[in-house]
């Protein structure tokens, strides 16, 4: 299932929902991530404060793949007949794998 998240509020709800769908407590997720339970509370309350690496690790542990879409309205290098929006999708699977490998190396 593909979910598009466009705000911190949506991300907050999605993180908590993914954890609960697996019947994990905050402490269980914290242990898997190598964080404190209070840090998971912070992440669920305000995901804007989480580092990108932690977010990648979190989604990887929760079994979720993530892609990033960058949109730009900049027309400076466009021909007159091109559209106003460019959409670039970056596959973050490599970054997720690196986050997992880094986490496994710490264990």
Domains of the chain in sequence order: 8-74+86-106 (1.10.260.40)
Gap between the Cα atoms of 26 and 2, Å rounded? 24
Sign of CA dihedral 54, 13, 73, 83: positive
Model confidence over 25-62: pLDDT tens digits?
A: 999 999 999 999 999 999 999 988 888 898 899 999 99
Tell me the CA distances in angstroms from 37 to 15, 16, 42, 98, one per residue in order.
Answer: 14, 13, 9, 23
Q: What are phi and psi of 80, to 5 degrees?
A: -60, -30
User: Between the CA atoms of 6, 55, 31 and 19, what dihedral angle is there, to the nearest 10 degrees?
Assistant: 20
pLDDT for residue 98:
56
Determine what percent of the chain is predicted with pLDDT higher than 90.
37
């Amino acid at each position: 299932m593909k979910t598009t998240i466009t705000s911190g509020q949506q991300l907050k709800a999605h993180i908590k929902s993914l954890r609960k769908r697996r019947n994990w407590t905050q402490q269980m997720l914290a242990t898997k991530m190598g964080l404190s339970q209070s840090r998971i509370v912070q992440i669920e309350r305000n995901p804007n404060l989480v580092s990108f690496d932690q977010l990648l690790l979190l989604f990887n542990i929760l079994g979720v793949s993530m892609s990033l879409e960058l949109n730009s309205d900049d027309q400076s290098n466009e021909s007159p007949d091109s559209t106003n929006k460019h959409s670039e999708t970056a596959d973050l699977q490599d970054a997720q794998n690196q986050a997992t490998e880094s986490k496994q190396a710490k264990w």
